[in-house]
Amino acid sequence: MNDIKIDLDEDCIHVVFLGLPNIPGGAAKIFGALCEQGVSVDMITQNTMRGGRSDLSFLIRRDRLEEVIPLCREVSSKVGAQGVSFATEVAAITVRLKAGSPETPQVLAKMFSTLAGAGVNVEIINSTFPGGTGAVGTSPMWATVVCIVSLTHAEEGMKALRGAFGV
Amino acid sequence: MTQPLFSLKVPATTANLGSGFDTLGMALTLYNVFSVTELLPDGTFACEVCGEGMDELQDARENMVVTSYLRACQEWKLSPRGFHLESCNAVPLNRGLGSSSTAVVAGVTLAGLIAGKEIPEAELLRVMTLIEGHPDNVVPCFLGGMTVSCWDGTNLRYVKLPALPDDLYVVAAVPDFQVHTEDARRILPESVPFKDAVFNVSHASLLCAAWAMGRWDLLRVGMEDRLHQPHRARLFPGGEEILTRIRRHPDCLATAISGSGPTMIAIVKGPAGQLSSEMCRIFTAGGVASHFFVLNSPSSGTVVERGQA
């Protein structure tokens, strides 16, 4: 299918600030510190939890890990997070489909059912559609869905998706 | 948001450290936060859990903070005032990082706080150990740092060692499956050969002495063990390989199974990223997903904040 592209990125690392207090300034300190080091991030996600705390996660590139670890540990302490974890054994499966395609809902349903059928647990999902916020690495011509999965299941997921969509 | 009446920040711990089975444990800079938001009538409890264990720990009757609180009240003949508890858990559940100990420490500490009674440190730790069954998680969890504990089933003796220097880190690689302490205990032999007992006495003694004197070069040898790690490392994929391969890494001072596993720890000097990634890669090769923390050992343990009653 020419209207769908599927890519695998094994060069990303998932960083999670656990139990960040829900007070203004936490995210500013974290991304300010990363900016000072020139570290680019992608797929920023914040989960609201009860108890006045939330988890904040994002992706960095693998080659920045050594400098990001001490930086995040220091900021974690400053912002009163409960801890910061790193997952190096992850991959991002990206499915792109032509913007405005009327088949978008069907493609999404098929994509997730295919991953589920292959036993691939999706840890994080992020999507960008043209006219939306325009996340890093996305094209205005393509709707993009990114799934973060464990490296242990990444190849199976890719194989299943390529089979399902014939690409 | 309403300010809680009491808020306890309770650290994760790594115990059974190498040769120090049921004896040596260390607090880590990863925390669960337990907050009492409201007092309720005697015996009435409500729990809200977020983060780790949010699906398993909501039932107040089985929540270990509540059961430990009730046990401590019984021990000290205190009226069991009920409460509404909020737990924000970051310590992975049943992975060998002392998640249950954080609950025991919180519950016992709350018993004294809610009753308004000053319970001496040694008595708090005795009851915590009584509930937990072994001292090497609850003692560092409450006191912080690295501790040596001796428990005969009735009496507890403990010593807090000097803190791990700031330039040494504990990498905790956490695989994505759970090991229950009971299962990990069942795999241990009923008895051990005399020469293995002597091996562990000498290595645990060396480890304590090296830690006290700052001889970090001796950690690798001091943490060698013949009592539990050879058995438990076979319980999960990657355990044996991490123990043997990662300890040869130039930045690695020592490796161990954390608690009863499956988390593996490495004490590291220098950049931790490459070594941590290597540990997780070994888990991946065994078909198991994982993530890691790079931690220090905090000199303070459980921290209590009081709101307005």
pLDDT in tens, B206-218: 999 999 999 999 9
The residues in A 90-149 lying below 8 A from B, measured between CB atoms, are none
Look at residue B106 and tell me if it is in a domain. Answer: yes
Rounded to 5 degrees, φ, ψ at A97 are -135, 150
Between strands B45-51 and B82-89, the pairing is: parallel
On whether both B177 and B278 belong to a single domain, the answer is yes
CA torsion sign for B73, B48, B180, B144 is negative
Specify burial of residue A23 (Cβ count, 10 A radius: 0-12, 13-18, 19+): exposed
Residues B13 and B153 in one domain: yes
- Nearest by CB: A66 against B33, B273, B290: B273
pLDDT at position A105, please? 81
CA distance B262 to B238: 9
Are B86 and A69 within 8 A, CB to CB?
Answer: no
The SS3 assignment for B30 reads strand
Residue B137 within any structural domain of the chain: yes
The reply to whether residue B88 touches residue A82, judged by beta carbons under 8 angstroms, is: yes
Q: Are residues B242 and B95 in the same domain?
A: no
pLDDT tens, position by position, B252-295: 999 999 999 999 999 999 899 999 999 999 999 998 999 999 99
Same domain, B99 and B243: no
Contact B271 A66 (CB under 8 A): yes
Tell me, yes or no, whether B290 lies in a domain.
yes
Picking from B137-141, B154-158, B230-234, which range would have the lowest pLDDT averaged per residue? B230-234
Residue A149 β-bridge partners: A91, A122
Q: How far is A100 from chain B (nearest CA, A)?
A: 36
* Residue B78 confidence (pLDDT) above 80: yes
* Count of all residues that appear for chain B in the document: 309
| C-beta atoms of A85 and B33 within 8 A | no
Chain A residues closer than 8 Å to B87 by CB: 51
Is B127 a domain residue?
Answer: yes
Q: Which residues of B touch A46 (CB under 8 A)?
A: none
Measure in Å the smallest separation between the Cα of A34 and chain B Cα atoms. 17
According to the model, what pLDDT value does residue B291 have?
A: 96
Shared domain for B262 and B302, answered yes or no, is: no
What count of CB pairs under 8 Å joins A to B? 98
CA distance B103 to chain A (A): 15
Closest listed residue to residue B36, CA positions, set B141, B110, B127, B128: B110
Q: Which domain holds residue B188?
A: 168-295
How far apart are the CA of A141 and the nearest CA of chain B, in angstroms? Answer: 34
Calculate how close chain A gets to B50, using CA atoms only, in Å. Answer: 6
d(CA B223, CA B267): 11
Amino acid letter for position B36: V
Q: Is residue B84 part of a domain?
A: yes
Share of chain B above pLDDT 70, in %: 98
From B261's Cα to the closest Cα of chain A, the distance in A is 18
Low-confidence ranges of chain A (pLDDT < 50): 132-136
Tell whether B76 and B224 lie within a shared domain.
no
Q: How many domains does chain B have?
A: 2
Which one of A50, A51, A69 has the shortest CB-CB distance to B294?
A69
Q: Please tell me the distance from the alpha carbon of residue B226 to that of residue B19, in angstroms, as a whole number.
A: 7
Q: What is the DSSP letter of B4?
A: P
Q: Give the pLDDT score at A135.
A: 45
Interface test with B, best of A82, A85, A148, A153 (most B CBs within 10 A): A82
The two structure tokens encoding residue A17: 């600030």
Contact B284 A151 (CB under 8 A): yes
Q: Chain B residue closest to A77 (CA)?
A: B29
Q: What is the ipTM of this complex?
A: 0.92
What is the H or E stretch that residue B306 is in? strand B303-306
Question: What is the spatial distance between Cα A67 and Cα A64, in angstroms, rounded to a whole number?
Answer: 6
Cβ-nearest to B50 among A51, A83, A150:
A51
Q: Is A156 on the interface with B (CB under 8 A)?
A: no
Judged by a CB distance cut-off of 8 A, whether residue A38 touches chain B is: no
pLDDT (average), residues B52-76: 90
What would the DSSP string read from start to end of A95-164? EEEETT-TTHHHHHHHHHHHHHHTTPPEEEEEEE-TTS---TT--TTEEEEEEEEEHHHHHHHHHHHHHH
Contact predicate B38/B309, CB 8 Å: no
The answer to whether position B287 is within a domain reads: yes
**Alpha helix segments (H runs only) across chain B:** 64-75, 99-115, 121-132, 138-143, 181-186, 194-213, 219-222, 229-232, 239-245, 273-285
- Mean pLDDT of all residues in B211-231: 94
Q: B33 to chain A: which residues are within 8 Å by CB? A: 19, 51, 53, 82
pLDDT > 50? residue B54: yes
Whether residues A53 and B48 touch (CB distance < 8 A) is answered with: no
Residue B21 included in any domain: yes
State chain B's mean pLDDT as an integer: 93
User: pLDDT of B111-121, one tens digit each?
Assistant: 999 999 999 99
Instruction: Find the CATH number of the domain harbouring B145.
Output: 3.30.230.10
Indicate if B152 and B190 belong to the same structural domain.
no
Considering the domain architecture, whether residues B218 and B263 belong to the same structural domain is answered as yes
For an interface test with A, the pick among B284, B296, B300 (most A C-beta atoms closer than 10 Å) comes out as B284
Domains, chain A, in order of start with CATH, read 4-10+89-165 (3.30.70.260), 13-87 (3.30.2130.10)
CATH of the domain at B216: 3.30.70.890
Give the per-residue pLDDT at A134.
42
Closest-CA residue of A relative to B84 is A51
B97 and B67, same structural domain?
Answer: yes
> Which one of A15, A46, A69 would you mutate to disrupt binding with B, by most B Cβ within 10 Å of its Cβ?
A69
Under the banding of pLDDT at 50, 70 and 90, the label for residue B61 is confident
- B196 and B150 in a common domain: no
Residues B139 and B187 in one domain: no
Together in a domain, B15 and B113: yes
Instruction: Look at B86 and A50 and tell me if their CB atoms are within 8 Å.
Output: yes
